[in-house]
Amino acid sequence: MENKHYNGWSNYETWRVNLEFFDGITEELDAAECEELVLSYIDECGTSDMLAGWLSSFLANVNWDEISKYLIEI
């Protein structure tokens, strides 16, 4: 599947995670910290196995480096 740019971001998944999760966060986080923060949040929510699989597929397309660079720039 080909990823396409979305609203100035490398793809829809990256845009959506940044918009809905990192909006308002002012910490400078590296890519690994961004991903770990999101994964920890999902673990705390206690999702079903099926939903966890869907989330995993969605998050596999997130460009964590791009989100990290954005957080450092703001």
Per-domain residue ranges of the chain? 29-73
User: Any residues with CB less than 8 A from the CB of 70 and at least 6 apart, and which?
Assistant: 18, 22
Which amino acid, 56? Answer: S
> Cα(6)–Cα(50) distance, rounded to whole angstroms?
27
Digitized pLDDT (tens) for each residue of the chain, 74 residues in all: 565 789 999 999 999 999 999 999 999 999 999 999 999 998 888 888 888 889 999 999 999 999 999 999 87
pLDDT of residue 1: 52
pLDDT of residue 8: 94
pLDDT of residue 36: 97
| pTM, to two decimals | 0.86
> Cα(67)–Cα(28) distance, rounded to whole angstroms?
10
pLDDT of residue 71: 95
